[in-house]
Amino acid sequence: MNDLPSLMRRNARMTLFFLSLGCLGWAFRPDWKPVFGGFLMGVAGGFLVSLHLAWKVSAIAARAAGGQRSRFGMFGFVSRAAIGVLAAVISVRYLEFNLPATAAGLLAGPLVTLILGLSAISRQTGGHASDERGEKQ
C-alpha cells in the first residue's frame, strides 16, 4: 500500500483537511479574511505542485522501467516554482490576500509529504528503528 497512487490519495485527503481548516478560519474570523484566504491559495498551489511532482516521478519511473533513454522534459522544477509564484501573485496582486500566509500555505504541501513519509517509514519498520537488529531487552 506504499505505491504512489495510494500516497497521492492520502496526500489529497490531508490537503483537504488543511483547506477545511482555512475555510473554518475564514468562516469564524471574517476580519482575518486576507490571512485565511492567502493560506487557502497557498495550500491549493502546494497541492498542484504535489500533483505535478507525482506525474513527473511516475513518468520517470515508467521510462526507467521501460529502458528508454529519452530526455526528460526541461521544465520540471521551473514549472513547480512557477506554480508557487502564480499562487503568490494571484493571492496578493488580484485577490489582495496576505503574502506570508500564502507562503505558509505553500509550506503545507511539504508538511503533508513529510507526515506521509514518516508514517510510511514507521509502517514499514513496524514502529522499530530501521537499523535495529532484533535484540529484545
Partner 1 sequence: MEIYGMLAAGIVFGLGALGAGIGNGLIFSKTVEGISRQPELRGTLTATAFIGVGLVEAMPIIALVLAFMWSA
Please report how close the Cβ of residue 13 comes to partner 1 at its closest, in angstroms. 16
Question: What string of H, E and C letters represents the secondary structure of 32-101?
Answer: HHHHHHHHHHHHHHHHHHHHHHHHHHHHHHHHHHHCCCCCCCCCHHHHHHHHHHHHHHHHHHHCCCCHHH
Please report how close the Cβ of residue 21 comes to partner 1 at its closest, in angstroms. 19
Looking at residues 52 to 71 of the shown chain, list those that interact with partner 1 (rule: CB under 8 A): 53-54, 57-58, 60-61, 64-65, 67
Residue with cell 496576505: 98
Number of residues that bind partner 1 (CB under 8 A): 34
First CA to last CA across the chain, in angstroms?
31
Asked if 73 is part of the footprint of partner 1 (rule: CB under 8 A), the reply reads: no
Residue 107, SS3? Answer: coil
Asked if 75 is part of the footprint of partner 1 (rule: CB under 8 A), the reply reads: no
Binding residue for partner 1, selected from 34, 36, 40, 80, defined by CB under 8 A? 80
List the x/- string, 96-125, binding to partner 1 by CB under 8 A: ---xx-xx--xx-xx--xx-xx--x-----
Residue with cell 537488529: 133
* Residue 19 Rama label (left phi>0; alpha psi -120 to 50; beta): alpha
C-alpha span between 72 and 53 (Å, rounded):
13
Asked if 86 is part of the footprint of partner 1 (rule: CB under 8 A), the reply reads: no
Give me the residues that bind partner 1 (CB under 8 A), please: 2-4, 7, 49-50, 53-54, 57-58, 60-61, 64-65, 67, 77, 80-81, 84-85, 88, 99-100, 102-103, 106-107, 109-110, 113-114, 116-117, 120
